């Protein structure tokens, strides 16, 4: 049988007891994300040596009983040269084309690299929908669990070829954080081309930070958006955001470079550790709570704020006073009080075209005017997360 897999968990720690880098190598289950910058050569193609080194390190970890889900970027970078492109495209259609070409090549590299350890690789391409719609979510989880139990390594990437601007993870750091929630990992490891989070961009003299316990530790830290290689997408901003998503959901994270991965897995204290704080919650609510963009805003009266925030009820049309933005049913929206303070985010059940005619009306009135199929909450309590109150951005 292949090394790793759920059956091999004999020495692993139980969830949420990872308190520092030294514990990472003993985790029961890890999500490991590797960025394009760690897998590419200077001319932008995939570095077979770097990829094989990573696979060798991951394999040593699996052999000691840790389940590993690998989230790997690199599809767009790998697809550039075969399409005659030399720089990362900015338009979505060319990115989709490059990813469609490069994803197959990336998987072929992983298949070969893991074959050296007699280990099977599997491709799991996810969209945002797969992590927020309950039926998709259950499917994705079942598939990954089965693969792990059969000893195959899931290699996850965003399904770039079909993703649109509107609903996209946009970066694999966020995808990795939500995958860690999905598979109930004990930890998230973010591997980049920099050995730790620094208090400013490393090439501008920033110094490494060994541990981030809470948001206060990030005060005064300058996060660059783009690395020097120019092949990654979010720079440090999305990595810190991903670490915050998992830490706020009870899963610690470590950020270091792919070249330090072997030392990290061997129990050495390398990189930056993000201490877990919050309680664990599902990937859907984690996604909603940390969503970068919403499609619109529902302004509600004080009674609706009290119902939604304090009594955790669903939002009904009767309490809504204004609708802004353009959205379809199931799109994410924010819910703001009369003074513009955002109290919650949720998936709305009606479009921005339908909703205005329903505002302030009771459910009985709505059914009389629009029919039985309109007898549903505007945002169901199960599709809503409360957010720390703060002034809304206009």
d(CA 96, CA 158): 11
Q: How far is the CB of 24 from ligand VHF (least distance, A)?
A: 20
Residue 87, both tokens? 């720089």
Q: Which of 232, 252, 262, 346 binds ligand ADP (CB under 6 A)?
A: 232
> For residue 242, what are its two tokens?
């991903």
Answer yes or no: is 192 a known binding residue.
yes
Of the candidates 173, 188, 176, the residue with the CA atom closest to the CA atom of residue 239: 173
Binding region for ligand VHF (CB under 6 A) out of 35-43, 136-144, 180-188, 281-289: 35-43
Ramachandran region, residue 250 (left: φ > 0; alpha: ψ -120 to 50; beta: rest): left
Size of the site for ligand VHF (CB under 6 A): 17
Closest to ligand VHF by CB, 25 vs 202, is 202
Bridge-based pairing state of the strands 341-347 and 384-391: antiparallel
Options 61-69, 160-168, 216-224, 241-249: segment touching ligand ADP (CB under 6 A): 216-224
> Does 99 sit near ligand VHF (CB under 6 A)?
yes
Residues 167-206 contacting ligand VHF, CB under 6 A: 171-172
| 157 lies in the site for ligand VHF, by CB under 6 A | yes
User: Residue 390: how many CB atoms within 10 A of its CB?
Assistant: 9
For residue 246, say whether it is annotated as part of any ligand binding site. no
Two tokens at 352? 């921005």
Which partner, ligand ADP, ligand VHF, none, binds residue 197 by CB below 5 to 8 Å per kind? ligand ADP
Query: Per the annotation, does 238 bind a ligand?
Result: yes
392's contact among ligand VHF, ligand ADP, none, with CB below 5 to 8 A by partner kind, is none
Q: Which is nearer to ligand ADP, 3 or 229 (CB)?
A: 229
Instruction: Tell me how far apart the alpha carbons of residues 180 and 187 are, in angstroms, rounded to a whole number.
Output: 7
| Chosen from ligand ADP, ligand VHF, none, partner binding at 157 (C-beta under 5 to 8 Å by type) | ligand VHF
Asked whether position 271 contacts ligand ADP by CB under 6 A, the answer is no
Name the binder of 206 from ligand VHF, ligand ADP, none, CB < 5-8 A by kind: ligand ADP
Binding mask 193-212 for ligand ADP (x = CB under 6 A): xx--xx-xxx---x------
**Interface contacts to ligand ADP, rule CB under 6 A:** 35-38, 192-194, 197-198, 200-202, 206, 221-224, 227-229, 232-236
**Interface contacts to ligand VHF, rule CB under 6 A:** 35-37, 73-77, 99, 157-158, 160, 171-172, 232-234
Residues making up the binding site: 33, 73, 160, 172, 192-193, 233-239
């Amino acid at each position: 049988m292949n090394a790793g897999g759920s059956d091999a968990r004999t020495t692993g720690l139980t969830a949420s007891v990872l308190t520092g880098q030294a514990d990472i190598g003993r985790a029961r289950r890890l999500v490991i994300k590797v960025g394009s910058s760690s897998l590419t050569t200077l001319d932008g193609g995939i570095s077979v040596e770097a990829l094989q080194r990573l696979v060798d390190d991951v394999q040593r970890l699996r052999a000691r009983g840790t389940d590993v889900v690998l989230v790997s970027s690199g599809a767009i970078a790998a697809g550039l040269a075969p399409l005659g492109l030399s720089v990362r495209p900015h338009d979505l259609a060319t990115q989709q084309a490059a990813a469609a070409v490069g994803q197959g090549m990336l998987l072929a590299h992983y298949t070969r690299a893991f074959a050296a350890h007699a280990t099977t690789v599997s491709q799991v391409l996810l969209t945002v929908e797969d992590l927020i719609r309950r039926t998709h979510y259950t499917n994705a989880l079942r598939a990954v669990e089965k693969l792990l139990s059969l000893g195959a390594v899931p290699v996850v990437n965003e399904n770039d070829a079909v993703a649109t601007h509107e609903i996209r993870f946009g970066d694999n750091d966020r995808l990795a954080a939500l995958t860690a929630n999905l598979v109930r990992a004990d930890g998230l490891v973010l591997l980049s081309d920099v050995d730790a989070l620094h208090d400013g961009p490393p090439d501008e003299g920033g110094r490494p930070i060994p541990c981030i316990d809470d948001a206060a530790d990030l005060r005064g830290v300058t996060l660059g958006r783009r690395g020097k290689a120019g092949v990654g997408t979010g720079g440090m901003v999305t990595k810190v955001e991903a670490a915050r998503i998992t830490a706020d959901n009870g899963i610690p994270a470590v950020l270091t470079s792919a070249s330090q991965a072997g030392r990290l897995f061997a129990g050495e204290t390398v990189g930056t550790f993000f201490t877990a704080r919050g309680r664990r919650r599902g990937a859907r609510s984690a996604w909603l709570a940390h969503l970068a963009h919403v499609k619109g805003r529902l302004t509600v009266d004080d009674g609706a704020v009290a119902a939604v925030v304090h009594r955790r009820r669903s939002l009904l049309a009767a309490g809504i006073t204004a609708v802004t933005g353009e959205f379809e049913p199931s799109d994410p929206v924010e819910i703001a009080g009369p003074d513009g303070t955002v109290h919650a985010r949720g998936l709305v059940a009606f479009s921005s075209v339908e909703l205005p005619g329903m505002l302030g009306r009771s459910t009985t009135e709505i059914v009389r005017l629009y029919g039985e199929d309109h007898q549903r909450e505007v945002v169901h309590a199960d599709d809503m997360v409360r957010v720390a109150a703060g002034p809304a951005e206009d």
